[in-house]
Structure formats: C-alpha cells, structure tokens
A and B are shown apart, each in its own frame.
Chain A
Amino acid sequence: MLNSIGRPTAPTAAETQDYPTFTGNKGLQLEQPLLFEIGRADCTGVDFEDVTLNDNALGKFQRDSIGLVGLSEPEAMRHYVRLSQKNYSIDAGLYPLGSCTMKHNPRLNEKMARLAGFSDIHPLQPISTVQGALQLMDTLSHYLLTLTGMEAVALSPKAGAHGEMCGMMAIKAALIARGEAGTRTTVLVPISAHGTNPATAAQLGFTVRDVPARADGTVCVETVKSLLDDSVAAIMLTNPNTCGLFEREVKQIADAVHEAGGYFYCDGANFNAIVGKVKVADLGVDAMHINLHKTFSTPHGGGGPGSGPVVLSPALAKFAPVPFVKKVGNGYVLIEHTSSSASEPRIHLKEDPRVKPEDDSHLAFGRMVAFHGQTGMYVRALTYMLSHGADGMRQASEDAVLNANYIKACLQDLYSVPFDVKFCMHEALFDDRCLNGTGLTTLDLAKAMIDEGYHPMTMYFPLVVHGAMLIEPTESESLAALDLFIATMRDLMMRAQSGNPDIIHQFKTAPHHTPRARLDETRAARSPKLRWNA
C-alpha cells in the first residue's frame, strides 16, 4: 500500500492559483535559453576524424573563426525538443486557419519521401538513373491535369506565390509573342485577393487595378466589363474566393476578359473546396497554381517548403517554363533547356506529347528554379492522391465544405455573418459586428481561443470585411471535434458579450496559459534585433 509509507494517493483540495517557480519553468512548460547562450565554440555533436591539411588548394582564402557554437547530441536534442513544445500543430489540435487548409498530414507521405530512391538521388544524375523519379513527375502531372481538365502543367514553382509568378510570366510571354506586352500593362485584382496577387503582378511590371466586390463578397461580371479595355493583360481571381464563396459568374467573367484580349489567372489557393467537383478548364481559366501543401497535404512545416505547380490552358501551354518530363517510348526524358534542341516540344501535354516543332520549340519562357522543383513534395502529394483516389479526393472536398457549413450554421446566431448567403464553400467568414459594444476586438477573441486550446482562425483577412474571422476546418475534423470547437466558440462569444469587466479584462490580456503572453510587435519593428550578439 503506497500510503502506508506516508505517500498521499489522492490530491488535496485543488487550487488554481498561479504560484511562481524558481526556474521560470511551469511544469511541462520549459524555458529554453538561446543556442548562443548555452553552446560552446569547442563543443560538437558530430564525430569526425581530425584531418590536418599539409597541402591545400585554398589559395589565400582560409578563414579563422566563424563565431558558431555547438552542442553535444543530448544537449541539442533537449534544446530542440523543448523548442518544439512551444508550438501548436495540426497533430495536436484543430487549426482553423482560413485560406491555409491545415489538414491532416499523413505519415505515409513522409515515409515515401524518405525512400532512398527519392531522397538520395542527385538532380543532375544521368537521366538513365532516375527513370522512376521522372515517372513519378509524369504521373503527378497526369493527376493534376485530370483533376483540372487543363492542357499542360509546370511542376517546378516552389510555392503558391512562385506559382502565381509562373502563371503571370506565361501570360507576359504570351503577350510578348502577340506583340502586346507594351500596351497590355494592367492587371485586374479584386480587393479581396491575397496580397501575393498584386505583389506578383507588380513585380512583373504590371499596374494593378482594383476590382470592387459586390455586397455579397463576389465579383460582378458587369463591374469587370466596365474595367476592361485594350490595356488589360489579365484578371487575377481567386476561386472559391477569399470570402469562402464560389464566384458564380466566373465563366462570364472569363469570357469577357478573353473577349477583351486578356487572360484569366485563377488563384488556386482554395482548390481544396472543389477537387473532383469542378472542371477548372470549363471555367475559362488560363493559368492556376495548386498549393500541394494545402490541397494535397504536404506539411506546412512551420512555414515551408511549399510547392506550387501551375496548370495552363491551350493558349498558354506552349510558354510553360523548363524543365518538364516527356515520355519517349518506354522511358522518360527531361527537357531542361529552352532552345538547345529545337525539335523538342516544351510542354507536358496531357495526351499526345508530340507538337509540331515549328509551333512550340522556342516559346518556353525560361526557368523558374535551379533543378526540377520540389520533388520531395511531389512524392508526398502523389502519395496523398494515390491513397485518396478519385473517390477519396472528391469526398475530401465534400467533407471540407460540409464542415465549414456546419460551423457556419452552428455559429451564425451568435457570430455576425457579413454576407447574406445561404451556403459557403470550405471556409466560413464572420465579421466583428458581434463584438460591437463589448470593447473587444477580433484579436482579443483569437487570443482567448488560444487559452481554450485552439489555434485562432485567420483574422483581419480578407480585407473587405471588418475584423474578419475566416474559419477553415478542413475535412480532417470529426463531428465530435467540430461540436467541441463550436461549443467553445459559442461560450467565448457569450462571455465576450456578457459585459462583465473581469471577463473583458481576461480577454484583453489573453492568452494566459502559453509560454509567452502577447508580444510587442511594435517594439520588434521599431528597433529590429534580428540576430544574437554577444
């Protein structure tokens, strides 16, 4: 019997008072100094034979000290494990970041990406020694083209914004080929768009013209028509849009833009809502990037690496950048150059890859990256696609949309809905009118969610809605998990609206149960300290 030696076996009356500790640690919340405060210049966690260079070929270029510090393996393990414990993650809880698609990341994908036949091959090995990798790229291309109905795909862009750049470069290249690059200098961008859209257009020298949204958050074809003229190169439209709504007039908008001589760039950030439900090609899209790290579950990794393949219409296919894979007989080749062998077509075509050389041989607009793009991410995405299959991918989109609508239905009596729409797509959007009179902001609510164990939703985006709260649960959440989230959100709003000064104070100073309280971002920006200094 444990208690025969005086050891208590049940807690005494519980008290929740926050007692200070000597170490600053709070149980499982462990403080960790900076690496440079604990590391030593002469300490290493890697064993090497000690080589002395008698002779060298370094000329006069040897350096003395670098200033780095090292840790032994056990110390390094503890350092990073302690750091990891200060992060929220999708594996730990619901992560309803709208527009970010924080879905479950299957571990099979990680295991497959680590097969030596994928992870341990060099990008410039002889083509004969990487046939499996090229087949993988070809198969992924086939899936992306089948899912979208588009003509060609450029796999190499390294992230969503890089994919946007690729698509807009293809449009610029097409305008150059038409002799209209000098006159078509305007790109239409709805004000609800991701910031990357105008930034990408501007980086390519285009002038951005805002497209106002309708009262329901969508773009009206008549508004677009009123903005179209000979100077318009393209429209960049997110669909489903950043308010979580499908652009009902997307095809009419595409037709109008095409009629005016422009192209339709579709931001595919929200593709997860429509996989297997919509043929993107039938919407009149000329270029669309697909975030493999959103829709196809490659992990976000705390901010990358992403992967942003771009699908292209027949009008843009021939301008796709190098490299791309081509099937020749029973094998695969990699087309890596824009003009070296003029007989090679420059594009990955969904059916017969043979295109008349005189049509396409000199048109690839160039190269986006060294080597062939994010192959490690291609493996993960294809693993997801094979696992889900056509039926599973459609189901994923349906469940993602179902879950968002369920949240909307269960919260809309307490949370204010900015647009009078019956259904949303894969994300539910609320504004901050429900907080009017409480003295609280969207930020306060978000920080209070953290104390309840949730990562906040996307807040203050899209910009067209005041104090926006954009909730994207994804298909990964069970009904029980959704119900618990909904109950929590309802409790929080009722408390926020209670008017109780203590509760309001609790919101305004939240979070209270995290490794750090609210951080001073103004101070960080005013006098930037971007590195450790002794």
Chain B
Amino acid sequence: MRYHPHSTADREFMLQKIGAAHINELFSDIPENARIQGDLPLPAHASEMSVERQLSSLAAHNVSAGSVPFFCGAGAYKHHVPAMVDHLIQRSEFLTSYTPYQPEISQGTLQYLFEFQTQVALLTGMDVANASMYDGSTAAAEAVLMAHRITKKRKCLVSGSLHPHYADVIETNANLTGDACVRLPADARNAEDIIAQLDESLSCIVIQTPSFFGHLIDLQPIADAAHKLNIIVIAVFTEVVSLGLLQSPGAMGADIVVGEGQSIGNALNFGGPYLGLFATREKYVRQMPGRLCGETVDANGKRGFVLTLSTREQHIRRDKATSNICTNSGLCALAFTIHTTLLGEKGLQQMARINHAKALELRTALQGVKGVEILNTTFFNEFSIALPKPAAEIVEALAARNILGGVPASRLLPAEPSMHNILILAATEITTSEDIALLTTALKEVL
C-alpha cells in the first residue's frame, strides 16, 4: 500500500523490540466485545488511478459554475482567482505545516497572518482583526457572544437584512445557551426600521450591508442610536469585494465587523472551506475570539511574529476562555492575503467597479423582461427581483436550460410566503454580456 512505508519484516522487528508477540497485543486495553475482528465491510485499498476515476465520476454529476451562465450569490460568489494563488497555497511549507506554535520555524505563516490581519483591518475600517474564523456565519455568532461579554447583557437583535443561515446559526446558539435572540422578518424591500426596535435590554444588533437582498444600508444613524443605549453594533458582509468600493462599516460606526472572505482567493467549494473575517476596535481586543498574531523581537533583537494574547484561549483558560475555538482558516486566509496583495488598492477598486458595472448591466437587461420587478434602488453586485411565479420553479426551469440563474429566497426562507417569488441575482467580473443575454432570453421563455 503506497502510503505505508513498513515492510512485514520491519513490523516484526519493531514488535520484537517493543516486546509484543503480535500487533493486537498493543490494543489489549480495548474491551474485547468492542474490538473489530477482521476488516470492516468497506472496499479494500485502491490505486490512485482507480480512486481518481471514482471521484471524477462523482464530480461529473455536478454542473460547475464555470460551465454555464452563472448568477448565484447569496453569501458565496464566483470570482476569478489568479493562477498564482492556488500554486502558492499548495507549497508544502504552507499546506502541510501545523498551527505556528513554534514561532522560530513558523515565521512564514506568522508573517502572512500579520499582513492578513492588517489587510482585514484596513478593508473593514477597524483597528484590529484576528487571524480568521471558520466562516462568515460562525464569525457572526462569535461576535454576538463577544458583545454579550462586553455589555454583560444576553439579548441580541437580528436584522431582517442578515443572511438567513447566519441568523439561523446565531439563533441556534441562543436557543441552546439560553440567551435571548429577537429576529426581525426578512427585509427584501429595505423597509426595516431597526432603530425603532432598539432598547436598553439589547446587548447587540446584527445588521448586514450590502444586505442579503443586496441593499446598501446606512449604518451610521443606527450606530448612533445604538450607542446611546450601550448596544454593540455588529456589521456583517458576505461579499468582501464590495469593500473595494463601499464605505467601510468601521467608518459608519460599527463596533465589530464580521464577514465572509471567500470571494477573494477562494473557490465556491459547495459552501466550504470558507474564511471568516473578524475585526473590532482596539478597546475590545482582549474580548475577541480566535487566534491573533502579534509583532515582537527575538533574542537577537530582530523583528519576528508570534501568536499572542493566548490567555484568552481555551488551551490556557479552559472553561474561562473567550471561545472554544482553537483553529482558524489558515490556508483560506493565505489565499485571501495573496489575492489581496496581487490586487492591491488599485486592483481591488477596479475589480469592485467592474462588479458593480456588471450588476448595473444585468439590472438594465432585466428591466426589459416583462413581469420582473427590481426591488433595489441601491446595490453592489447583487440585487433582488420579484417574479410573477415562485422563484424556485423559475430557477429549476433555467437550470434545465443550462443556466444557473440566481438563488430563490425561499431556498433559505421556506416558511415565509412573501419570499416565494423573490429571486436574488449576482453579477461579478466573470459575468459576460452574452451570459446576461442568455439569461434574459431564457427568463422571457419561462416566465
């Protein structure tokens, strides 16, 4: 077997050295009735060629985004990733290293994390960022817990602008910890008045811009009202490319900014692995969850980097830790930081402008389709439309015509009848005018 270096003779020699007559002697502490006799009812080992064939066959049963006109967003976005990114993240020293607990032989990982933290802080308009979280949704849930620690209150208010899966994750946490969570109805038409919902019992509000339905939301007046009541404002984004063009949540008064970083550097991957971004104000840094990388010096006075403030973390604090989290999304963060470095300020702004231009083009085209109502006056690269029929049926009909034509809101909000006819569409730099023409033509046929 190709992954096992020992020969039978090696194993016998080693057993002899150990003083065991048989390999099973090493497993003798296992209760007899729990031992597995022989091999389990699973196929035996297989050659690389055979395994490749099996998995390729499974992969062939999926329609990949790059093979058809593609307009899906709603929290995951298809962007072009430069070839260099995937090459670099597969370097052995990045791919097959562990968490940088031995900083003398991990300066590569540590330095890119320090640079990553700086990039995230700049993008979000915040003072500090951590070394990443599992994904945007879990980052949002951790932000709520952090707000509870800061305010010593245990009730959050979730805007109807928030991605429903993110709200589900926050709500699940609250249900099982006994915290309170108030969830406002889904806000497809940007009609929500969250300021009217604020009161002193709240620890935090969670609000997304661009919203799940694509609307751009002015956080400043909300933050002003919230801060008067000692409420932490958690701003969420799911499309990080938007920060290349849009005012940062930090500049609009957010206290904690979390979001999904998949769009930069990372593939769609059917939902994971993704990259949670987490940033906050300096004054809250010791309440942050997750790993942090900090600058220091070595014994010779040379600049170097280490994981720091670990007294917040579970391996030191155990049941008093700020979070149970003991990993980040290292390789996804690396992809993000390499892509961001390649883009730079100029490239990211250009990319964001193209995304917006494509979305404008898509809107204009859809305005010409009878029965389509555009719900947004503001948006970045994604917006919502109301259709005369259930959106899920339309999307299936489009898929039958080899078009992945957006995400029906009902896929995430099946219990809300008002969502049944709403479709969320995204355009990015990969979207072509031909794709848009194919979509509008097909839509006219199926509506």
User: Quick check: A388 and B45 within 8 Å, CB to CB?
Assistant: yes
Stretch at the interface among A121-129, A351-359, A488-496: A121-129
User: Quick check: B176 and A365 within 8 Å, CB to CB?
Assistant: yes
Is B432 an interface residue when CB atoms closer than 8 A count as contact?
A: no
Within 8 A of A (CB), among B111-166: 111-112, 114-115, 117-119, 121-123, 127-129, 131-132, 134-138, 145, 163, 165-166
User: Quick check: B306 and A48 within 8 Å, CB to CB?
Assistant: no
User: Quick check: B102 and A68 within 8 Å, CB to CB?
Assistant: no
Stretch at the interface among A219-227, A367-375, A434-442: A367-375
Question: Min CB distance, A350 to chain B, in Å?
Answer: 12
Q: How large is the interface on B (under 10, 10 to 19, 20 to 34, 35 or more residues)?
A: 35 or more
User: Quick check: A117 and B64 within 8 Å, CB to CB?
Assistant: yes
Is A131 an interface residue when CB atoms closer than 8 A count as contact?
A: yes
Is B191 an interface residue when CB atoms closer than 8 A count as contact?
A: no
- In the complex, which residues of chain B have a beta carbon less than 8 angstroms from the beta carbon of A36? 115, 118
Stretch at the interface among A9-17, A246-254, A257-265, A309-317: A246-254
What residue in chain A is nearest B269 (Cβ atoms)?
A376
Is A444 an interface residue when CB atoms closer than 8 A count as contact?
A: no
User: Quick check: A46 and B112 within 8 Å, CB to CB?
Assistant: no
Measured in the bound complex, the distance between the Cα atoms of B57 and A72 in whole Å is 39
User: Quick check: B138 and A58 within 8 Å, CB to CB?
Assistant: no
User: Quick check: B360 and A55 within 8 Å, CB to CB?
Assistant: yes
- In the complex, which residues of chain A have a beta carbon less than 8 angstroms from the beta carbon of B75? 123-124, 370-371
User: Quick check: B273 and A377 within 8 Å, CB to CB?
Assistant: yes
Measured in the bound complex, the distance between the Cα atoms of B273 and A375 in whole Å is 7
- In the complex, which residues of chain B have a beta carbon less than 8 angstroms from the beta carbon of A340? 414-415
Question: Chain B CB within 10 Å — which of A169, A196, A379 has the most?
Answer: A196
Given the interface pairs A305-B330, A530-B128, the reply to whether A208 lies near B319 with Cβ below 8 Å is: yes
Question: Chain B CB within 10 Å — which of A32, A66, A102, A511 has the most?
Answer: A66
Is A133 an interface residue when CB atoms closer than 8 A count as contact?
A: yes
User: Quick check: B59 and A116 within 8 Å, CB to CB?
Assistant: yes
Measured in the bound complex, the distance between the Cα atoms of B75 and A39 in whole Å is 30
Stretch at the interface among B194-202, B227-235, B285-293, B433-441: B285-293
Contact among B30, B66, B316 for A195, CB-based, below 8 A:
B316
- In the complex, which residues of chain A have a beta carbon less than 8 angstroms from the beta carbon of B114? 34, 530-532
Within 8 A of A (CB), among B196-244: 216, 218, 243-244
- Count residues of A near B (Cβ-Cβ below 8 Å): 208
Q: Mark B27-48, 1 if CB is under 8 A from A, else 0.
A: 1111101111001111111101
Measured in the bound complex, the distance between the Cα atoms of B127 and A67 in whole Å is 13
User: Quick check: B65 and A89 within 8 Å, CB to CB?
Assistant: no
Contact among A53, A202, A302 for B94, CB-based, below 8 A:
A302
Is A504 an interface residue when CB atoms closer than 8 A count as contact?
A: no
Given the interface pairs A158-B134, A405-B20, the reply to whether A199 lies near B323 with Cβ below 8 Å is: yes
Q: Mark B170-188, 1 if CB is under 8 A from A, else 0.
A: 0110011110000000000
Measured in the bound complex, the distance between the Cα atoms of B308 and A376 in whole Å is 30
User: Quick check: B23 and A398 within 8 Å, CB to CB?
Assistant: yes
Within 8 A of B (CB), among A482-534: 509, 511, 514-521, 523-525, 528-532
Given the interface pairs A36-B115, A402-B26, the reply to whether A123 lies near B324 with Cβ below 8 Å is: no
Contact among B15, B67, B165 for A402, CB-based, below 8 A:
B15
What residue in chain A is nearest B340 (Cβ atoms)?
A68
- In the complex, which residues of chain A have a beta carbon less than 8 angstroms from the beta carbon of B295? 524, 529-530
Question: Min CB distance, B442 to chain A, in Å?
Answer: 14
User: Quick check: A86 and B344 within 8 Å, CB to CB?
Assistant: no
Contact among B26, B36, B51, B74 for A276, CB-based, below 8 A:
B36
User: Quick check: A509 and B299 within 8 Å, CB to CB?
Assistant: yes
User: Quick check: B396 and A68 within 8 Å, CB to CB?
Assistant: no
Measured in the bound complex, the distance between the Cα atoms of B404 and A126 in whole Å is 8
What residue in chain B is nearest A251 (Cβ atoms)?
B31
A selection of 18 A-B contacts at a CB cut-off of 8 Å is A63-B246, A70-B345, A87-B94, A95-B98, A113-B269, A117-B62, A121-B269, A126-B399, A169-B176, A299-B96, A300-B98, A305-B134, A371-B270, A392-B3, A396-B3, A450-B105, A479-B6, A530-B128
The 6 A-B pairs with the shortest beta carbon distances in the complex, nearest first, are A70-B344, A117-B59, A371-B271, A366-B172, A132-B61, A123-B271
